[in-house]
Amino acid sequence: MNDKNNPLQPQQSPRCGAKTRSGMPCRTATVRGKKRCRMHGGNSPGAPRGNQNALKSGAYTSAAKAQRRDARVVLKRLRELIAEIEKLV
């Protein structure tokens, strides 16, 4: 059996080792590139690279607004025509 895939093996990543309130060493894994875990002073690795929130959808460009405005005018006219036809029937 391969020891790497054995779930009973302890994790191989470095451990924090800071003293807990009970006096025992902390067994949490360290933060990437640091010597302590996130609870004992290791800084977080930071935000993800790139600003995904700044991606533009194009929904608010002047062309898209004009297209929606035109569609509303067409829909309004169609509703009026349907109402006129229903009056005749």
pLDDT digits (tens, 9 = 90+) for 59-85: 888 999 999 999 999 999 999 999 999
- Per DSSP, 25 falls in state B
CA angle 65, 50, 40 (to 5 degrees): 135
Instruction: Say what the pLDDT of residue 31 is.
Output: 79
Instruction: Say what the pLDDT of residue 8 is.
Output: 44
Give the Å distances, CA to CA, from 49 to 10, 21, 36, 53: 31, 36, 23, 11
pTM of the model: 0.40
The band of 42, judged by pLDDT with boundaries at 50, 70 and 90, is low
Instruction: Say what the pLDDT of residue 1 is.
Output: 47
CA 58/CA 41 separation, integer angstroms: 42
Within 13 Å of residue 21, how many CA atoms lie on the same side as its CB?
1
CA 29/CA 42 separation, integer angstroms: 10
Give residue limits of the domains in the chain.
11-42, 60-88
Q: 12-26, 29-43, 51-65: which range is least confident on average?
A: 29-43
